[in-house]
Amino acid sequence: MTVLEVKNATKRFGSLIAVRDVSLSVPKGELRAIIGPNGAGKTTFFNLISGFFPPSSGAIEFDGRDITQLAAHKRVGLGMARTFQITEIFPELTVFENVRIGAEVAGGYCLRPWISESEKSGVETRVEEILKLTGLQSKLNRLVGELAHGSAVGGNRHGADAQTASFAARRADCWYGRSRNL
C-alpha cells in the first residue's frame, strides 16, 4: 500500500518555477529523503505535500485519498504531520509539556479550551510513548530551554524538513530509526 503519492507536482510563483514536475511514491513502512542544494525547492515541495501551498499542477494522494486541494489542518486530521527547519519549541515549558502540546494538536484538541479526562489520559499515554521512543523519559521535567537542540516529533506520518541539519551522521541515523516508530 502506498501512503503518499505525489504525481507531477509543479509550483509556480509568477514566472518562477520553484518545483517542476516532481513525482514521489512512499510505500507504507518506508522512508524517503529529499536532498539538494539551497534554493532547489525542497521546502516548497514539503509545503505542497503538507498543504501550506496548493500545487500549480499535479496531484497528491495520502492513504489513497486525493488531498491535492485539502487544507493543511485537515491533512493533520488524516494523520499527516510535518516538522520545520526552525523547530518550534517553548523553552520556558518542560519536555513533557512541549510534547503534550504536539500530541494535543495531533489529536485534534488544539482549539478546545478543555478536554475530557479520558481524552487527557489518551494524550498523556501518547506523550509517554513518544518520550520512550525518543529516549527523553529521563528529561521529562527539564525545561526545554536548558537542553541542547534536538529533533521535533509527533504524528503518524512525519515529514522532516532539514531536521537533521544539526546532527552528526550517526545521530541522524538514530533519529530516522526512531521516527519510523512514531
Q: How is residue 2 annotated by DSSP?
A: E
pLDDT in tens, 44-82: 999 999 999 999 999 999 999 999 999 998 998 888 877
Closest C-alpha among 48, 105, 114 to residue 76: 105
Q: What count of residues does the chain have?
A: 182
Separation between Cα atoms, residue 164 and residue 150, nearest integer Å: 9
Q: State pTM to two decimals.
A: 0.55
Intervals of the chain under pLDDT 50: 151-158, 160-172, 175-176
Burial code (b: 16+ CB inside 10 Å, e: under 16) for 138-162 equals ebbeeebeeeeebbbbbbebbbbbb
Task: Spell out the alpha helix ranges (H) of 32-145.
Answer: 42-50, 72-77, 95-106, 117-134
Give the pLDDT of residue 18: 95
